[in-house]
Amino acid sequence: MTLRISTAGLHAQGLQGLLSRQSQVARSQQELVTGSKLFRAAENPSGMAETQRLDHALSTLGQHGKNAGALEHRLRSQEQALSDVGNQLTRARELAVQANSPALSASDRKSIANELRALRTDIVSIANRDDGAGRRLFAGSRDGVVPFADNGGSVSYDGDDGRNRVEVGPDLSLDDADPGSDVFLRVRTGDGIARGSAGATNTGSGVLQSSSITDHAAWAGKSLTVEFTTANAYRVVDAIGTVLATGPYTPDTSISAGGVQVTLTGAPAAGDTFKIERAPTQDIFATLKNLADALDAPTFTPAEQATRSNALGEALSNLSSAQDHMLNVRSSTGMRLAALDSAADARSAGAVTLSESLSALRDVDFAEAISKLNLQMTAMEAAQKTMLRMQGMSLFDRL
């Protein structure tokens, strides 16, 4: 059998081989210039789909990082605000202790009351702080409004109880700044568990020195009242009037009943009452206002002096609880900041893993690519020389 190859076919075959070599060289040069070995989905559909998935995952991690940065700024701003409030409360407590001295004059107490009102105004200002970008720290999810307004001594709250959740990592979201209602309004009074208070209509000079829970199981959160049936006799009743204990009264004697213990001084009058109850909440602004008002009130009679002493004692307990409350909120803030640090470490590790996987799919190994290009260039030169020799061959050379 004789195989015949036409001159045109021979030239076409040589040209096709040369063009194929040129295409391979061009592809290798493109890989070296761009640093990528994926250009069209048709060449490697699964590889292109995987790189798009990895790119999206890296982009999401980047957005998480931006979210975390903004959240960290707000939480650190909140922490500073809480620290400032704590300093103001410490000063208020110092003033309350100072005001309890019998050596002070009415003018001295008025000066202290004025300073307390100034501290209260400062705390309202701190509660209305923003994060530097126009968003209020303590307005809940309504962070575009000014949360607190002082209306003639009564502070109103225009925010809400909401908490914005910020996504800072895969399957990890953290709370934004705390709502002002939790930080400034719902603050436990007394010792945070129970509160003792003198009756508002007391006419004697009895002063509540201390109140405490001695048996939580027996107390169980019940409201108990020490009632004076006469100036020298008392009874302890619960909220429905059940008498739990009775006895004679002598100053500085502790009265115990129903799991609570109170110590009174002075001379209560018949009908005076002293109540022990589960500690209710009260806003910080009211605590400071009540203290300032108590210092401004006239104290000419023993009963008025007792009223002031009871108000100061209650205010001291409330301020101590408010300080503890601020420390708890700061602790919660610190826990979220620590979680942000952990999230940053997780994002960094995840980004490294994703980048390595993406690089293995898309990035060019330059040493391998240069070696391949050199080999392809050698093959193309050989094809060019072969083409030149084939072009010089003719039947006339055999005649």
Residue 3 lies inside a defined structural domain of this protein: no
pLDDT at 199: 94
Please list the ranges in the chain whose pLDDT falls under 50: 42
Q: Say how far residue 80 (Cα) sits from the centre of its chain.
A: 12
Cα separation, 309 vs 313, whole angstroms: 6
- In sequence order, which ranges of the chain are alpha helices (DSSP H)? 7-34, 45-99, 106-127, 180, 216-219, 284-296, 302-362, 366-392
Residue 364 lies inside a defined structural domain of this protein: yes
Residue 121 lies inside a defined structural domain of this protein: yes
Examine the domain organization and report whether 163 and 62 are in the same domain: yes
Residue 31 lies inside a defined structural domain of this protein: no
Q: Which of 278, 294, 309 is the endpoint of a domain?
A: 278
Cα separation, 21 vs 378, whole angstroms: 10
Can you name the residues that pair with 274 across neighbouring β-strands?
198, 226
Examine the domain organization and report whether 186 and 241 are in the same domain: no
Do you know the residue count of the chain? 399
pLDDT at 356: 72
Residue 22 lies inside a defined structural domain of this protein: no
Examine the domain organization and report whether 297 and 160 are in the same domain: yes
Examine the domain organization and report whether 287 and 242 are in the same domain: no
Identify the CATH number of the domain in which residue 368 sits: 1.20.1330.10
Residue 30 lies inside a defined structural domain of this protein: no
Examine the domain organization and report whether 227 and 185 are in the same domain: no
Cα separation, 345 vs 126, whole angstroms: 33
Sheet architecture: strand order including 207-213: 207-213, 260-265, 254-257
Examine the domain organization and report whether 201 and 304 are in the same domain: no
Examine the domain organization and report whether 272 and 226 are in the same domain: yes
Three-state DSSP class for residue 175: strand
pLDDT at 362: 62
Examine the domain organization and report whether 290 and 329 are in the same domain: yes
Examine the domain organization and report whether 177 and 292 are in the same domain: yes
**CA–CA–CA angle 338, 342, 345 (5° rounding):** 140
For residue 151, what are the domain limits? 44-192+280-391
- In a 13 Å sphere around the CA of 268, the CA atoms on its Cβ side amount to 34
Examine the domain organization and report whether 289 and 244 are in the same domain: no
Tens digits of residue pLDDT in 12-52: 665 666 666 665 555 555 555 555 555 555 455 665 667 67
Q: In the chain, how many domains are there?
A: 2
Which of these, 296, 289, 211, 201, lies nearest to 257 by C-alpha position?
A: 211
Sign of the CA dihedral with 249 first, then 252, 257, and 260 last: positive
Q: Which of 232, 250, 278 is the endpoint of a domain?
A: 278
Q: Which of 256, 278, 300 is the endpoint of a domain?
A: 278
Residue 13 lies inside a defined structural domain of this protein: no
Residue 114 lies inside a defined structural domain of this protein: yes
**Please, what is the angle between helix 366-392 and helix 7-34, to 10°?**
160
| DSSP strand pairing (165-169 vs 154-157) | unpaired
pLDDT at 43: 58
pLDDT at 394: 57
- What is the enclosing helix (H) or strand (E) of 262? strand 260-265
Three-state DSSP class for residue 190: coil
Examine the domain organization and report whether 265 and 352 are in the same domain: no
- In a 13 Å sphere around the CA of 140, the CA atoms on its Cβ side amount to 16
Which of these, 163, 176, 171, lies nearest to 68 by C-alpha position?
A: 176
Which of these, 192, 180, 207, lies nearest to 320 by C-alpha position?
A: 192
Examine the domain organization and report whether 227 and 208 are in the same domain: yes
